[in-house]
Homo-oligomer: A and B are copies of this chain.
Amino acid sequence: MSLPSTYSERNCSLARALEIVGERWTLLIVRDAFYGVRRFGDFATQLGIPRAVLTARLKLLVREGVLTRDDSAGTVEYVLTDKGVALWPIVRSLINWGDDFYSPAGVKRALRHDADGALLDHEGRCEKCGELVAVGDTRIEPGPGFRPTGAEVDPVSAALNTPRRLLEPISAARTTPAG
């Protein structure tokens, strides 16, 4: 959020957190990272974000240790660190609030415990086994409020609208097209 560095209320961790993830687009980038997006171009097309802004946000997130920039595999990959994964409760509660108040037809994307397929409650617990479900054990899939746009021919969008586990890279969907 780049509040003035002489920000008066240093004693609030909320302000500190917002300096990192409070800027425009940043949490949407993080969300896509949870969904498995890892490549610059995929973030750009999925979000429709200006590429210069995307560059700036990715740089900030890497500098702050939320993402790592992995260059070793020939293609650049941006992957969530543990610190980034720790943002999941924030992302989840924002999704829940949006679903509760702006999606009368039901949740747009349902979160399930991958092990037993049961839905998660608002605290992130499995409604069947009561377990606190880890991010990697969470499956996401279109819910009753989902509205297919019909124009998702690109493999990345198609992969994102298919039931899959969080953090699982979608790169596979690109290199091995569905057809």
The chain A residues found within 8 Å of chain B, CB to CB, are 1, 4, 7-18, 21-22, 24, 27-28, 31, 46-48, 65, 83, 86-87, 89-91, 93-103, 107-109, 122-124, 132, 142, 146-147, 149, 161
Contact = CB atoms under 8 A, between A and B. Distances in A.
Given A1-B24, A7-B48, 8 more contacts: A9-B47, A11-B146, A12-B31, A12-B98, A13-B107, A16-B103, A86-B101, A123-B132
Contacts of A124: 123
B146 A13 contact: no
Among A9, A13, A17, A147: residue with most chain B CB under 10 A: A13
Contacts of A4: 48
B89 A17 contact: no
Contacts of A24: 1, 22
A96 B86 CA distance: 10
Nearest to A90: B93
A27 B16 contact: no
19 contacts: A1-B24, A8-B48, A11-B108, A11-B142, A11-B146, A12-B98, A13-B96, A13-B103, A13-B108, A14-B31, A17-B94, A17-B98, A18-B27, A21-B94, A89-B89, A89-B96, A90-B97, A123-B123, A123-B132
